[in-house]
Amino acid sequence: MNKNKKASNVEIGENLRKLRLTKDVSIAAVARAISRNQSTYSRYENGTYRPSNHIIKLLADYFGVAVNDIIPVESIPIFNSNSANNNKCYEHIDSTIFNEDFAKKIQDTLLQILQISLENQKAILSLL
């Protein structure tokens, strides 16, 4: 299994565990709320399984938080400044036109757009 994906699963699991304990509910209660069995949800929390985007949205709604409270934006490769993908992107950018500082500004702007988009998505979904 990809080492980065496993770390991301663990981080997601830790966030889910913190949210569940903060809400003071059992694993069984959360599993019922998202129509999954208890062992599956337990595997989300321990990082063995990665919940689908649909399940992450259900969990965010259940806990009353934004999706990025479960999956931090930093764990998305394009927004991780240490990502090998970013290094590859920088290698392909013509340094006579762009430099790393400019690429970083683009990355920061995309991060802001994503955060606004997530907030807008949550607001729209709350109206449905």
pLDDT (tens digit, 9 = 90+) per residue, 55-111? 988 998 999 988 888 886 655 544 444 555 544 444 444 444 445 666 677 778 888
Q: In whole numbers, what is the pLDDT of the chain averaged over residues?
A: 77
Query: What's the confidence (pLDDT) of residue 96?
Result: 41
pLDDT (tens digit, 9 = 90+) per residue, 100-118? 666 677 778 888 888 888 8
The DSSP 8-state label assigned to residue 62 in this structure reads H
Where exactly are the structural domains of the chain? 1-67, 76-128
The CATH classification number of 1-67 equals: 1.10.260.40
Q: Radius of gyration over alpha carbons of the chain, in Å?
A: 17
The residues, ordered by sequence, that sit 6+ positions from 12 with a Cβ below 8 Å of its Cβ are 44, 47, 50, 51, 56, 70, 71, 75
